[in-house]
Amino acid sequence: MGDTNEEALADLQVLLEQNVQEGAQENEAEDSSSGEDESDDDCSDFPLVGAPGQYLYEDRMKLTEQERRWARAVKRAAAEEGDLKPLSDLWYCQFGIIDRDNVERSLDRIRTMQAFREEYDFVDSWEAGVEFVRELVSVMPRYWLALNYNPRDGNYVLALDVARFYAKILQAQPELVRIWIVATHFVTHAQSPDFKAIRKGGILLMENEGFDFKRNFGFSYMKKVYSEVTGVYPFKFDQVKNFNTGVLFNIILSMLRGIASNEHSRKLQRGCRTADGVDRLDEFYLSSGLQVANDKLIQSVKASLQWRFYCQSKFSLEEANDGN
């Protein structure tokens, strides 16, 4: 039994090294090229993308009077709990926007997220967020393809390749679970920097071609990240678009519907197509090279998290503007 475990661990270590090596080889190829490749924005099925932070604070941090009442109700209820640590007013408004008048649901989220921060022992700051994301990118360099601001709708677009998420690596190296879980928290944070983005909800684009059930899927890990982050964090999806899906994806979709909320699962779209000439999401997002894409991803996360924590430091519920 011990020999079998050691062999499995060795195989997974090779898989990890190959994954990172793949990124290094692509970077070498980029260095030897002319460097003139630029991404092509002609994919008609993609939202417009641009740099975050194009709108003023006053525009993106407006509250309606109803949202303000919801936020105050959550803040009062949390204070009455006694064992819940105080949060910023931006957080209370975020719970109010997502949960509306369901205060008990917001309190459940707050309790779980407080336990989450204590268990994983991290500082909720943009600096910490950037480092966690950077660490995960170094291990799974092609998993998250891009995070972009969508000026058309005022929200954020996260693109990823599910075939580049290696669940077995997490199984073999438990210390990576913390990095993955907390990095996921911060990437969700980066999609929710202000009230306009929170209210609209994020867009998730998923490349599915090449997915291998044995290599990529781990039901216990999917359930864990959903119960601790994606299903708890006050966030909603505007769209979840899956590209290059097949029979295997339909099976996984059925499994995910068993653990995801109805609100999340009904947003799942399958069989999405890119524009002519682009077969896969990574062809679009990595067209300028892997290193360029990874650097841009990290810079986008950094910019969005900095904006989030700026808004958090400046916003006061008592002084909030309403949208009327």
The tokens describing 106, both together, are 């917001």
Q: How far apart are CA 124 and CA 118, in angstroms?
A: 11
Check pLDDT > 70 for residue 293. Answer: yes
Check pLDDT > 90 for residue 52. Answer: no
Q: How far apart are CA 209 and CA 240, in angstroms?
A: 16
H or E segment and range at residue 14: helix 2-32
Among the listed residues 192, 191, 158, 165, the one whose alpha carbon sits nearest the alpha carbon of residue 179: 165
Mean pLDDT over each residue of the chain, to the nearest integer: 80
Q: What is the pTM of this model?
A: 0.78
Contact between 285 and 274 (Cβ < 8 Å): no
Tell me how far the alpha carbon of residue 53 is from its chain's centroid: 18
What local confidence, expressed as pLDDT, does residue 181 receive?
93
Check pLDDT > 70 for residue 231. Answer: yes
Q: How far apart are CA 4 and CA 76, in angstroms?
A: 55
- Cα dihedral sign for 181, 187, 193, 199? negative
The tokens describing 164, both together, are 């580049």
Contact between 30 and 289 (Cβ < 8 Å): yes
What local confidence, expressed as pLDDT, does residue 256 receive?
60
Contact between 40 and 299 (Cβ < 8 Å): no
In CATH, which of 3.40.525.10, 3.40.50.300, 3.40.50.720, 3.90.1750.10 is domain 126-314?
Answer: 3.40.525.10
Better pLDDT: 276 or 282 = 282
CA dihedral 232, 238, 242, 243 (to 10 degrees): -140
Check pLDDT > 70 for residue 3. Answer: no
Q: Which burial class, exposed, middle or buried, applies to 185 when counting CB atoms under 10 A from its CB (0-12, 13-18, 19+)?
A: buried
Of the listed ranges 188-192, 248-252, 309-313, the least confidently predicted one is 248-252
Rounded to 5 degrees, what are φ and ψ at 275? -75, 165
pLDDT band for 1, please (50, 70, 90 cuts).
Answer: very low
Q: How far apart are CA 30 and CA 37, in angstroms?
A: 10
Among the listed residues 50, 34, 48, 42, the one whose alpha carbon sits nearest the alpha carbon of residue 289: 34
Beta-bridge partners for 161: 207
Q: How far apart are CA 304 and CA 57, in angstroms?
A: 13
H or E segment and range at residue 242: strand 237-243
Instruction: List, for residues 63-108, the tens digit of each pLDDT value.
Output: 999 999 999 999 999 999 989 999 999 999 999 999 999 999 999 9
* Boundaries of every domain in the chain: 126-314
Instruction: List, for residues 195-221, the tens digit of each pLDDT value.
Output: 999 999 999 999 988 877 666 666 677
What local confidence, expressed as pLDDT, does residue 264 receive?
56
Check pLDDT > 90 for residue 278. Answer: no
